[in-house]
Amino acid sequence: MPEIQLGAYTLRSHGAQLARIHMHDWLILLLLIIIDVVLNVIEPFHRFVGQDMMTDLKYPLQGNTIPFWGVPLVAVVLPMVVIAGIYYYRKDVYDLHHAILGLLFAVLITGVLTDAIKDAVGRPRPDFFWRCFPDGKGVFDAITKNVLCTGDKKVIKEGHKSFPSGHTSWSFAGLGFLAWYLAGKIRVFDRKGHVAKLCLIFLPLLVASLVGVSRVDDYWHHWQDVFAGSLLGTTVASICYLQFFPPPYDADGWGPFAYFQNLADSRPVGVQPSSSMNNYNNMQLTNAEYDDHDSDRPHLAIRSIGDDIEAGGLR
C-alpha cells in the first residue's frame, strides 16, 4: 500500500512554486528593511533633560557586551541554522520556506516598531550625561535648565534612543520564534510530561534574556527599556509564528498550514481531512495511522521530530 511521508516536497520540486506564490511577501520584507533604515537615519525626538534629572543619567559610557552586529547572528542566523537543519532531516520545503519567512517578518516588524518608538519617545540612556558632556562639565540653559550638549552629535543622537531596547526586542523576536518553532517540532505539549522538552524550549528564551540583561549591565538601557523590548519581541514573534503554523499544542502543530493544505489537495481517495484543518479551510489530513489490513485505504504515516526523539533520537 502507498505511504504518505513527510518530506515529499523539496526545494527542487516545490521551491520555485512557493517563491512565486509568496513573491509579494518577500517584497514587503524588502520594504520593511527600507523603512527601518530610514528610521535609523532620522533624528529622534530630543526630550527635555533638566539639570536635576542628570542624577540617574551619569552611569559610565562603555562598550557593548553584545555588539550590534552580534544581534542578527543570535536572532536571525542561529534560528535559520536550526530551521535548515530540520529541513535537511525532513526535506519539507513548506516548513523551510514558511519558517524563514515567519522569522524574517518577526525580526523586521519588531525592528520597525522598535525604531519608530525609539524616535518618537526619545528617552535618554543611563549614560546620557557622558554622551552629552564628554569632558564631564555640564552646560545647561540658564532659564529652562535643559542640557546644552557639547559632545559628538552622532553619540548624542544615539543617547536619545533608550526606549525600548533594540537588542532585546530583536533577540526575543528571533529566539522567541525559534522557541515556538521547536515547541511544535518536538511536540512539547503532547501531555506525556517530558520536562526535557520544556528545557529545550526555554533555552532560546534564556539566551534572549541574557542579551537583555547585558543591556542593563552595559548601562545602555534602563530596566524598563529591556522589559518593554522583550514584550514587544515576544508578541510579534508569536503573531508571526501563528500566521504560518498551528499552535504547538494542536495535534498537527508540528507542520505549517501550507503543508497540510497541499497534502490535502493531493490526498488519495478515501483519506478524510481532520478536524483541525476543517477549522482552516477544511484542508488538513488526519494525523493518524491507518490499519494496514483496512480494505482499500492507504497507509498514512506522518511522524514528527518529537516522535523520533521518543523512539530513540534523530536518525
Answer whether 26's CB lies under 8 Å from 108's CB. no
Q: Which of 226, 208, 112 is nearest to 163 (CA)?
A: 226
What's the burial of 77, exposed, middle or buried (CB within 10 Å: 0-12/13-18/19+)?
exposed
How far apart are alpha carbons 264 and 250 in whole angstroms?
Answer: 17
- Of residues 14, 97, 221, 222, which has the active-site annotation? 221
CA 8 from chain center: how many Å? 27
- Of residues 167, 194, 222, 293, which has the active-site annotation? 167
Helices H / strands E in the chain, number of each? 13, 2
Q: Which of 232, 230, 256 is nearest to 242 (CA)?
A: 256
Catalytic residue list contains 46? no
How far apart are alpha carbons 245 and 179 in whole angstroms?
Answer: 13
Catalytic residue list contains 221? yes
Report angle CA 114, 123, 118 to the nearest 5 degrees.
Answer: 20
- Can you tell me whether residue 4 is helix, strand or coil? strand
Between the CA of residue 212 and those of 35, 263, 284, what are the distances in Å?
A: 24, 41, 39
Q: Which residues are catalytic?
A: 167, 221
